[in-house]
Amino acid sequence: MRAPRFSLRAFILVLFILSLVGSNLFTSWQLGKLRDENAKLSKELGRLVISDPTKINVIAVPTYEDMLWRWRIHVPKGSGPLHLFTVTQDVPENGFPANSGSSGPFRDGEYLLTAAIRPDRNGKWQLTIAGPQSSFSMGIAEAAAAWLGDSPGYSTEQAGASGTQVADPGERLALLRIRAMKRTSPTSSSSAPGPADGVMIWLAKP
């Protein structure tokens, strides 16, 4: 049987097609790598990348300071005003407390929100929340503030800590959930079920 023969033109055409395929694959790999690097950089800098403008978009901004948290928040148009709710004790393990203080409103737009726990001039612990136009402080009852001093530790959940977090405007969005731990032995501690001392901050419609 005679072996198949290929012309020089066919060989060049096949080589050209293979080069195009290889070039496209390499370009796709480079673009994917650049997207991953951009997402990582945005997370490290706390830059808000709005993936869905019809929803609430939140990213945590690194502060590198104890008891200080910051977020960039996008409130979509037409969602209606949102309020900020807070509690400084009886923080549930899941879900939201029944009773809380609130402030607002947060209308459509982008906001930089900062929360900090600091002692006041009398040495009493207080939670301060500052937005673009106003700020407020609320005291933390002494009986509920033991975890801020000599305590076995606490757990922290912060919205947007792993990148931009998206939520429907009708949902309640927990920005911060801190729960004091219980000591289980002289050298260890763990989260206890049920409400615990701590701080919780969330966004919701009034």
Q: What is the pLDDT of residues 158-177, one digit of tens each?
A: 999 988 999 999 899 999 99
Neighbour order of strands in the sheet with 109-119: 135-139, 125-130, 109-119, 68-75, 56-60, 165-167
Nearest CA to 92 out of 201, 193, 206, 205 is that of: 193
pLDDT score, position 13: 78
More confident residue, 158 or 40: 158
- Round the average pLDDT of the chain to a whole number and report it: 83
* Assessment of whether the complete model's pTM goes beyond 0.95: no
The answer to whether 126 and 138 have CB atoms below 8 angstroms apart is yes
